[in-house]
């Protein structure tokens, strides 16, 4: 997705960035996933107030494609004052689709997968259930794929009934149709979805980027720290590609992490590549995700020197950046789908990526992008 102009990603509290809301493209990370619902709703309300205080703008609320977090409470606040909210959480690039109002992961209904294994509640069986309290009407695939006028009419019909359209989608083309339709309907309609709908919106709004200074050269000799905050099975294979390259891997026991009894290994600062990861071989205790992310963040903050960072898992990325006092990122581009390369105001490189994303060579590709000298030691990636 190419930005329409300068983009800032703010990690500060919404109330602290209100004065910057006039920026052409502003992204606020509210860090609400594990807050009590009332506090999460309050954070969204503050951000919404800041966004609406400036000139008219298109509003987009990013949500988790597996519907985790305070979705119902936040969506209810986000919908306040809108003609309607167009909802489409599908993420086809990660094989997460929506059919009949039900999220599917690799073709399996979400509530039959282990996507919520670290959560305290069971996965919702449908979008209407996940958005409990917000009137939602499903827009089936045949309507999404119909003529544009028919899709526009369906969105307007649902909005006129006092409800919000939730669109089925299986492909990026489906999301493109939803995004373009929402734009045609005007500023009274807001959008809510995962990174898939955000990318579709970017494609619909794309325009030539303004000239910007070239990124400063990557310092190939600086250490590179990977903080892998996910116990997804695929992470094991991804890390193996790095250890084959000579990375120092530090697998961390989740019980020790949660208890705060893990200290930084003495040798961790020496290698050019270091990987901290959660050892999920014994399983994870439901609800432990936040404590584990905080423990990983503390280790990363104690890491010697000033390494560039690769952070996988949204909660881990946010807590690590908070622990390091990083409150602003400038996105530079994607290394591969979902692996966003950014720069801090003082020039440090940061790559963030959802925990479940990427092929086996994902972390290797990121390492080579940040440290080009490693390319000679690898097979083509």
Summarize the confidence of residues 289-305 as an average pLDDT: 87
Summarize the confidence of residues 54-63 as an average pLDDT: 88
Q: Which region among 207-211, 250-254, 334-338, 341-345 has the lowest average model confidence (pLDDT)?
A: 207-211
Instruction: At 131, list the tokens.
Output: 């958005």
The domain 59-205 is placed in CATH, from the list 3.40.50.1820, 3.90.580.10, 1.20.120.400, 3.40.50.10840, at: 3.40.50.10840
Indicate the pTM of the whole model: 0.79
Placement of tokens 């898939």 in the chain = 196
- Dihedral of alpha carbons 328, 17, 76, 33, sign: positive
Q: Which region among 21-35, 111-125, 185-199, 357-371 has the lowest average model confidence (pLDDT)?
A: 21-35
Q: pLDDT band at residue 134, thresholds of 50, 70 and 90?
A: very high
CB atoms within 10 A of CB 120: 10
pLDDT at 75: 98
Summarize the confidence of residues 52-79 as an average pLDDT: 93
Q: Which region among 206-220, 249-263, 279-293 has the lowest average model confidence (pLDDT)?
A: 206-220
Summarize the confidence of residues 142-165 as an average pLDDT: 98
Which residues have CB under 8 Å from 114's CB, separation 6+? none
Q: Please report, for the chain, the start and end positions of each structural domain, with discontinuous segments joined by +.
A: 59-205, 224-377
**8-state DSSP, 305:** S
Which residues have CB under 8 Å from 301's CB, separation 6+? 320, 323, 324
Nearest to 9 by CA among 302, 307, 296, 352: 352
pLDDT at 279: 84
Instruction: At 315, list the tokens.
Output: 């909660």
The SS3 call for residue 221 is coil
Q: Which region among 81-95, 270-284, 343-357 has the lowest average model confidence (pLDDT)?
A: 270-284
Instruction: Check: CB of residue 197 under 8 Å from CB of residue 105.
Output: no
Q: Is the pLDDT of residue 18 over 90?
A: no
pLDDT at 357: 84
Q: Which region among 77-91, 140-154, 184-198, 259-273 has the lowest average model confidence (pLDDT)?
A: 259-273
What are the DSSP calls for 254-297, one per residue? HHHHHHT-----TTTTSSSEEEEEE--TT---TT-HHHHHHHHH
Q: How far apart are CA 91 and CA 174, in angstroms?
A: 11
Q: How far apart are CA 48 and CA 291, in angstroms?
A: 29
Placement of tokens 């800041």 in the chain = 50
pLDDT at 1: 35
Beta bridge partners of residue 350, listed in sequence order:
309, 342
Q: Is the pLDDT of residue 153 over 70?
A: yes
Summarize the confidence of residues 287-296 as an average pLDDT: 80
The SS3 call for residue 191 is strand
* pLDDT, tens digit, 9 for 90 and up, residues 181-194: 999 999 899 999 99
pLDDT at 189: 97
Q: pLDDT band at residue 233, thresholds of 50, 70 and 90?
A: confident
- Residue 353: phi and psi, rounded to 5, are -155, 135
Q: Are strands 102-105 and 96-99 parallel, antiparallel or unpaired?
A: antiparallel
pLDDT at 358: 86
Q: For the domain bounded by 224-377, which CATH number is listed?
A: 3.40.980.20
Summarize the confidence of residues 286-300 as an average pLDDT: 82
Q: How far apart are CA 303 and CA 298, in angstroms?
A: 9
Q: How far apart are CA 114 and CA 133, in angstroms?
A: 25
pLDDT at 285: 64
293 vs 155, residue with greater confidence: 155
Summarize the confidence of residues 105-126 as an average pLDDT: 93
């Amino acid at each position: 997705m190419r930005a329409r102009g300068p983009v800032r990603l703010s990690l500060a509290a919404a109330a602290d960035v209100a004065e910057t809301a006039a920026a052409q493209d502003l992204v606020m990370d509210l860090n609400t996933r594990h807050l009590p619902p009332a506090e999460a709703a309050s954070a969204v309300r503050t951000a919404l107030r800041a966004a609406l205080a400036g000139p008219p703008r298109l509003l987009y609320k990013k949500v988790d494609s597996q519907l985790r977090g305070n979705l119902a409470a936040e969506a209810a606040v986000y919908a306040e004052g809108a003609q309607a909210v167009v909802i489409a959480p599908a993420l086809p690039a990660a094989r997460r689709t929506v059919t009949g109002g039900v999220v599917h992961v690799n073709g399996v209904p979400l509530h039959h997968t282990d996507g919520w294994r670290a959560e305290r509640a069971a996965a919702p069986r449908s979008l209407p259930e996940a958005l409990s309290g917000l009137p939602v009407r499903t827009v089936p695939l045949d309507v999404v794929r119909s003529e544009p006028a028919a899709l526009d009419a369906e969105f307007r019909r649902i909005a006129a009934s006092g409800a919000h359209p939730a669109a089925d989608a299986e492909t990026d083309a489906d999301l493109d149709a939803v995004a373009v339709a929402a734009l045609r309907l005007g500023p009274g309609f807001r959008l809510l979805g995962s990174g898939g709908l955000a990318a579709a919106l970017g494609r619909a709004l794309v325009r030539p980027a303004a000239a910007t200074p070239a990124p400063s050269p990557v310092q190939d000799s600086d250490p590179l720290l990977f903080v892998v905050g996910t116990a997804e099975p695929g992470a094991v294979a991804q890390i193996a590609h790095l250890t084959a390259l000579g990375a120092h891997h530090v697998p961390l026991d989740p019980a020790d992490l949660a208890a705060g009894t893990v200290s930084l290994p003495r040798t961790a600062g020496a290698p050019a590549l270091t990987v901290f990861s959660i050892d999920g071989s014994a399983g994870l205790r439901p609800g432990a995700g936040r404590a584990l992310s905080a423990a990983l963040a503390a280790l990363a903050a104690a890491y010697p020197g000033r390494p560039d960072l690769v952070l996988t898992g949204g909660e881990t990325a946010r807590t690590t950046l908070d622990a390091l006092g990083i409150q602003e990122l400038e996105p530079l581009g994607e290394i591969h789908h979902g692996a966003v390369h950014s720069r801090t105001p003082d020039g440090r490189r940061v790559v963030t990526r959802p925990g479940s994303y990427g092929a086996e060579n994902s972390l290797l590709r990121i390492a080579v992008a940040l440290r080009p000298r490693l390319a000679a030691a690898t097979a083509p990636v």
